[in-house]
Structure 1
Amino acid sequence: MRKINFAGGEPFMYPKFLGPMVQFCKADLGLESVSIVTNGSLVKREFLEQYGRYIDIMAVSCDSFDEQTNIDIGRGKGDQVTQLFRIAGWCREYGIKFKLNTVVCNLNHLEDMNAIIEQIRPFRWKCFQVLLVRGENDSEKTLRDVRKFQISDEQYQDFCRRHEHQASFVAEPNNLMAKSYLVLDEYMRFLDRDGREPSSSILDVDVFTALGQVFWDEESFKQRGGIYDWSRDTTQSGCGVGNNKDLDW
């Protein structure tokens, strides 16, 4: 194991657990990369002051630089962009790589985000095409219904063409995203995106046995840029911990 990513839900709802976990993964396990995905609303400078040295990447989810659009999508209460700039500054201060995640949907696909991207300068900007997952977000009976946010492949490609000149830009269309992630649930089981049940828990069986019980599209993982320079930049301010091995996959 070389890399771990804490996502959610929202990891910063439980900072008293998140902090010691990132410290353990970096300082005790010596992992090359420890990253967090957050909506940013609960990130505090004090947390990064204490634990930033153990974090390689902080990825903030922000779908628009227009606050009303964010509210319409269901993100934030009108201050998400302001907080985004704060977090970008804190990441630079503590030597953490700042990453931006954007889900492209029918409320933001016409937006031109170039000017703000050039201001906040993420090292990596992942732009996902909004994804419908059968049984999870595809009807009025599921917790969320993504159908009202869906866009065509052509609309997504238009968004990509408008922003692909950005050095940090990474496109992630549905065909690459759907089955290329390895996700562990709260029982430490790999989730399957091909209709099967989750794997056995890796607390009970070895990882390779568990992986053999689910489908993972490794080729799509590589095509979507799943392998990249994921260790913190120790040339910035902040205390570097860990190593920067060459990527030998």
Structure 2
Amino acid sequence: MYDKHVRSINWHITDKCNYHCAFCFSRRLGEEITNLEDAVKVLEYLKSIGIQRINFAGGEPMLHPLVFDLVRIAKEMGFVTSIVSNGYYLNQESIKKLSPWLDWIGLSVDSCCEEIHFSLGRGNGDHIRHIRNIVPYIHENGIRLKINTVVTKLNFREDMKPLIKELNPIRWKILQALPIKGQNEKEIENYQVSELDFDQFVKMNKDIVLSSGDSPVFETNDDMVDSYLMIGPNGSVIKNSNMEHTVEDMKINGIEEIDSIVDWKKYSHRGGDHWISQ
């Protein structure tokens, strides 16, 4: 039985990205750490305050020059390791190289339709083809697969279950496009959906049993706000209260402060500790 503490963190190691997703809210997060010694100090600090899982995010984390080293060192330190990627830089070679130290890969898949991905700024018209090509390598190397889907005005009527069954993830997370002040409020106006539209996508896609035996996880805007512990590229804390990212030049002073940053009930409701039983 686990105490009610947040044990998972998203480290946005870079805000660089090769895609231009209209709904992206991880921009202008600060200068990234490119010195391995300084990056390891961040990992050691996170370990000292009780973090057990690190999700390397971006931008596109595969663009960070130290990503392979960070995943390896984090695993050697005992962390559960995860990467959230658009998949562009993942291939047979890079997946195999990551596999000894990587527990999870989260891939961004928002539609069954290439044209929709292209319209959203995700890829060059061959995003789904590439995802289909790399997913077998993820399964072959024993890395757990998660699919992340953002619901927008372009896909809220879409039945994605056939594609999800084909990709065969352990976890499917479905998120309502989230507006964040200072990040995406201009671009997202043409893509943001209402709760009613989001619910339409939920009803169409909820009746699927994943390979883990679980159902999809659906997160509204309200579910996301205050439910994630996040740090920026240089290790500064990112708060997302009131749908506005605040990057603070500070460290987290122990588990008690984490619990003041993150709403435990929301964190638990969205399955923040689901990885413990996997």
Common fold by TM > 0.5:
yes
The yes-or-no answer on 1:4 pairing with 2:51 is no
Residue 201 of structure 1: how far off its partner (Å): 3.0
Corresponding residue number in structure 2 for 1:59: 106
Q: Which runs of 5+ in 1 are unaligned?
A: 140-144, 231-245
Paired residues of 1:56 and 1:96 also in contact (CA < 8 A)? yes
Corresponding residue number in structure 2 for 1:19: 68
Corresponding residue number in structure 2 for 1:101: 148
Corresponding residue number in structure 1 for 2:78: 30
Seq. identity, %: 29
SS in structure 1 opposite 2:261? coil
Corresponding residue number in structure 2 for 1:142: none
Q: Which runs of 5+ in 2 are unaligned?
A: 1-50, 211-215
Corresponding residue number in structure 2 for 1:234: none
What is the number of residues matched between the two proteins?
A: 221
Measured against aligned partners, the alpha-carbon deviations of 1:214-240 in whole angstroms (never above 9, x if no partner) come to 63222111111111135xxxxxxxxxx
Tell me the amino acid that sits aligned with residue 75 of structure 2: K
Corresponding residue number in structure 1 for 2:14: none
The yes-or-no answer on 1:182 pairing with 2:229 is yes
Q: Once structures 1 and 2 are overlaid, which stretch shifts more, 42-51 or 97-106?
A: 42-51
Cα distance in 2 for partners of 1:62, 1:197 equals: 27
Corresponding residue number in structure 2 for 1:131: 178
Cα distance in 1 for partners of 2:176, 2:131 equals: 21
Instruction: Give the one of 209, 217, 222 matched to 1:167.
Output: 209
Cα distance in 1 for partners of 2:177, 2:112 equals: 17
Corresponding residue number in structure 1 for 2:265: 219
SS in structure 1 opposite 2:66? helix
Cα distance in 2 for partners of 1:201, 1:186 equals: 13
What is the root-mean-square deviation of aligned Cα atoms in Å? 2.0
Cα distance in 1 for partners of 2:136, 2:235 equals: 34
Paired residues of 2:227 and 2:267 also in contact (CA < 8 A)? yes
Cα distance in 2 for partners of 1:160, 1:7 equals: 25
Corresponding residue number in structure 1 for 2:167: 120
Cα distance in 1 for partners of 2:78, 2:258 equals: 23
Corresponding residue number in structure 2 for 1:151: 193
- The TM-score normalised by the length of structure 2 is 0.74
